[in-house]
Structure 1
Amino acid sequence: MFSIRARKHRDGFVLDVAIQVGAPGVVALFGRSGCGKTTLANIIAGLLPADEVHIEIDGVPLDANGKSLRAEHRRIGYVFQDARLFPHLDVMGNLRYGEKRAKRFVPHLHDLRMNPPPAASRITLDMVAPLLGLEPLLSRRVNQLSGGERQRVALGRALLSGPRLLLLDEPLASLDAARREEVLPYLEKLRDELAIPMIYVSHQFEEVLRLATHVVLMDRGKVLSQGTLDDLSLHPELRAIVGSDAVGAVLHGTVTAVDGGTGLATVRIGDNSLRINLRDAKVGAAVRVQLLARDIILATSRPENLSVRNLMTGTVSRVVADDADTDLVYVDIGGAHVLSRVTRAASIALDLRVGLPIWVLVKSVSIRGHAFFEAPPSASRTPLS
């Protein structure tokens, strides 16, 4: 779906990346501030020329053989850190501007013999307003909106422009924690209810955990690694960026039961099950779960009479030194791996080694779980290709 190769020298900084993503979803560009994420985003959007560049999205070349589409012809909806709304227009006026842009795309694309149906006929204001909770805001002026509301309007305007790609450059960076929590569910709805590819730039791992289906780790203008979050969650490169407190495994599971009385959902992961607090969970839903290494307790015999209700079985697959005093222990739980940080003294005392059968304990309250919508083959989602 994405093929991106870009090289750019700029003020002593060199961006040199190659990214290949074959499935639709949310591609997160993740790394520390200054690693080149925004530079790459601006190159993709056509706002910054590159020294060398080749970009294709769904087989459509944006930059190839020395020829580049201008930014206004790329059909990329760009949402910046600040909403950049037109202050002289109300919310409705800002959204209508997005619709006008969509109409401009079509003749240019026909000239290129791409012949897509008009984007404006496939996504409308009547769809966007309820999706992003904009209906009560339509008559408001920009200066009457909160930061979170402004970003939702910016998302709506970008969607109404009929993009083939939605590009979000740290759209929550200027918001406080409460406003971020306000906007994140809307971003999840965009991912789950619209079949529109997204590139999401962030240095906040919590945002990546909740949104991304594919992650590109960047550092100093280079791609360190790329793949699913499940795979990358165990990579040393990610641990170096997120810090020791955020080190852990990201696992995919399926909800098999929901207890209406306690609000706990039973999630099948590998050969084991976990009971976790999961808002509005439904049986059959796909769930992404993060288990932090600091919250995982290991036992070499089955523990009894504990308040911890989550107990999984597995086998030690790897033990590596984390620092001078601690080890990271990888445990295969049957089709998935979890990670535990233990003191070196405990590692020696328990004789933790590859192949050792092990019990894994984790508190329900320490598990972060996020549900993903997975449509059955016959289900209809709104295509925006």
Structure 2
Amino acid sequence: MTLAVRIRHSFGDFMLDVDFEAPPGLTVLFGRSGSGKTTVINAVAGLLRPDEGRIAVDGQTLLDSAGRVDLPPHRRGLGYVFQEARLFPHMSVRQNLKFSRWFRKGTRADFGQVVEMLGIGDLLDRRPGALSGGERQRVAIGRALLGDPGILLADEPLAALDDARKAEILPYFERLRDEAAVPILYVSHSAAEVARLATTVVALENGRVAGQGPAADVLGDPMLTPLGARAMGAVLSARVVAHHDDGLSELDAGGVPLFVPRVVQSAGQTIRLRIAAQEVMLSRARPEGVSALNILPGTIEQVRPGEGPGAIVSLATPAGRILARITQRSAKTLGLAEGMHCHAIIKSVAIAPQDIGGQD
């Protein structure tokens, strides 16, 4: 099932003009605050009528300004998860979940399957006031799914949660991505969330689509900076080889060993991980006698100076593309240039748990 979006809308000095397709899986609208992400998702939901455009899900037209088609929100067959759960406080979790089934008759969604997928079986008789933020969001997701939506919309659903609650709920979004038959359009300005969750990324800058494609391609593109240089980083796929007694897990990334803080996945499973560009050092020769455990050989693809003192270096390695954020002075001192052999140096502890997730 594919979502096709083409809309134009003016907010005074700001013009939103986007055209993209979201294929099956989890598509992230990614960019800075004010880039147009929430406007797009609200237009898809029918909460905002754009000046002109067309929106269709798997061939069903939701909006066509030229053809004067504009289905109201309740007829679009969509589920929406907001930043805050918006549960009914006087109802139990069970009643909140069943509300969407009452609201949309004939739903085929399996109550037990949704409850099991989201791990909320032991919460059914409690009220929202007795739940943590992460638990409330899981219930909100369940309520949206039980409405049997044609597509699930999520507008920065983790933004109101602290790091511990985000870590709690991210695996459930991974499971939704992998197991639910519902395509997901997800708004975020967190590079870590995008790296873990996205099947497809649509990067927005100043109301325009700056780039679109798999997470590894978009986040690893040195020419795309939807959140600025500090948020840049590479997304790699790797296979879990072993868990060691010192708290590290050993990965195989294209034949190169990587050591990261212990992961929950079992040996043999494939995961994806994000390596922030600012956590990567470069060396012309293979370094000896350093504390960093991860050293990846590669070839420089591009050295791109920034507007300030920094530069982004793109390095092709057996594990995939690695980005390094260094100073222009360092690049000049090392004589870095396209086609030069180089080594990326990455500390194991620089790869945070929130940057590691299951593979889709």
Taking structure 2 as the reference length, what is the TM-score of the superposition? 0.90
CA shift in 2, pair 1:137/1:35, >3 Å: same
Is residue 75–residue 162 contact of structure 1 (8 Å, CA) maintained in 2?
yes
Residue 179 of structure 2 is aligned to residue 186 of structure 1: no
CA shift in 2, pair 1:150/1:48, >3 Å: same
Q: Give the structure 2 partner of residue 110 of structure 1.
A: none
Residue 194 of structure 2 is aligned to residue 208 of structure 1: yes
Is residue 300–residue 342 contact of structure 2 (8 Å, CA) maintained in 1?
yes
CA shift in 2, pair 1:58/1:266, >3 Å: farther
The share of aligned pairs that are identical, in percent, is: 41
Q: Quick one: which of 262, 278, 293 aligns to 1:309?
A: 293
Task: State how far apart, in whole Å, the 2-side matches of 1:76 and 1:227 are.
Answer: 24
Q: Aligned-pair distance for 1:278?
A: 4.3
Residue 332 of structure 2 is aligned to residue 348 of structure 1: yes
1:313-352 equivalence runs, <5 A: 313-334=297-318, 336-352=320-336
Task: State how far apart, in whole Å, the 2-side matches of 1:233 and 1:5 are.
Answer: 23
CA shift in 2, pair 1:367/1:180, >3 Å: closer
CA shift in 2, pair 1:73/1:268, >3 Å: same
Taking structure 1 as the reference length, what is the TM-score of the superposition? 0.84
Q: Aligned-pair distance for 1:275?
A: 2.2
Which amino acid in structure 1 is aligned with residue 342 of structure 2?
I
Is residue 171–residue 357 contact of structure 2 (8 Å, CA) maintained in 1?
no
Q: Aligned-pair distance for 1:236?
A: 5.1
Residue 56 of structure 2 is aligned to residue 72 of structure 1: no
Q: Aligned-pair distance for 1:260?
A: 4.5
Deviations for 1:252-271, whole angstroms, at most 9, x for unmatched residues? 2333x113434533333345
Residue 160 of structure 2 is aligned to residue 174 of structure 1: yes
Q: Give the structure 2 partner of residue 43 of structure 1.
A: 43
Is residue 152–residue 185 contact of structure 2 (8 Å, CA) maintained in 1?
yes
Pairwise CA RMSD of aligned residues? Answer: 2.3
1:14-163 equivalence runs, <5 A: 14-22=15-23, 24-64=24-64, 65-104=67-106, 119-120=107-108, 123-163=109-149
Task: State how far apart, in whole Å, the 2-side matches of 1:232 and 1:273 are.
Answer: 24
Task: State how far apart, in whole Å, the 2-side matches of 1:295 and 1:322 are.
Answer: 17
Bigger mean CA deviation after superposition, 73-82 or 328-337: 328-337
Residue 249 of structure 2 is aligned to residue 265 of structure 1: yes
Is residue 299–residue 360 contact of structure 1 (8 Å, CA) maintained in 2?
yes
Is residue 216–residue 234 contact of structure 2 (8 Å, CA) maintained in 1?
yes
Task: State how far apart, in whole Å, the 2-side matches of 1:278 and 1:28 are.
Answer: 27
Q: Give the structure 1 partner of residue 5 of structure 2.
A: 4
1:229-240 equivalence runs, <5 A: 229-235=215-221, 238-239=224-225
Residue 349 of structure 2 is aligned to residue 365 of structure 1: yes
Task: State how far apart, in whole Å, the 1-side matches of 2:29 and 2:333 are.
Answer: 41
Residue 188 of structure 2 is aligned to residue 225 of structure 1: no
Which amino acid in structure 2 is aligned with residue 259 of structure 1?
H
Q: Aligned-pair distance for 1:351?
A: 2.0
Other structure's SS at 1:103 match:
coil
Other structure's SS at 1:81 match:
coil
Q: Aligned-pair distance for 1:324?
A: 4.7
Other structure's SS at 2:89 match:
coil
CA shift in 2, pair 1:323/1:158, >3 Å: same
Q: Which runs of 5+ in 1 are unaligned?
A: 105-118, 375-385
Which amino acid in structure 1 is aligned with residue 25 of structure 2?
G
Q: Give the structure 2 partner of residue 116 of structure 1.
A: none
The number of residues matched between the two structures is 355
Q: Aligned-pair distance for 1:222?
A: 1.8
Deviations for 1:185-229, whole angstroms, at most 9, x for unmatched residues? 222221222232101112222222221111111133222222122
Task: State how far apart, in whole Å, the 2-side matches of 1:351 and 1:221 are.
Answer: 38
Task: State how far apart, in whole Å, the 1-side matches of 2:244 and 2:187 are.
Answer: 37
Q: Aligned-pair distance for 1:298?
A: 1.8
CA shift in 2, pair 1:47/1:341, >3 Å: closer
Is residue 265–residue 358 contact of structure 2 (8 Å, CA) maintained in 1?
no
Which amino acid in structure 2 is aligned with residue 38 of structure 1?
T
Is residue 3–residue 55 contact of structure 2 (8 Å, CA) maintained in 1?
yes
Which amino acid in structure 2 is aligned with residue 366 of structure 1?
A
Is residue 243–residue 262 contact of structure 2 (8 Å, CA) maintained in 1?
no
Other structure's SS at 2:105 match:
helix
Q: Quick one: which of 259, 267, 281 aligns to 1:275?
A: 259
Is residue 272–residue 359 contact of structure 2 (8 Å, CA) maintained in 1?
no
Q: Give the structure 2 partner of residue 109 of structure 1.
A: none
CA shift in 2, pair 1:319/1:10, >3 Å: closer
Is residue 278–residue 370 contact of structure 1 (8 Å, CA) maintained in 2?
no
Which amino acid in structure 1 is aligned with residue 42 of structure 2?
N
Which amino acid in structure 1 is aligned with residue 89 of structure 2?
P
Other structure's SS at 2:83 match:
coil
Deviations for 1:30-69, whole angstroms, at most 9, x for unmatched residues? 1222222111111101222222221222233222433233
Task: State how far apart, in whole Å, the 2-side matches of 1:186 and 1:11 are.
Answer: 39
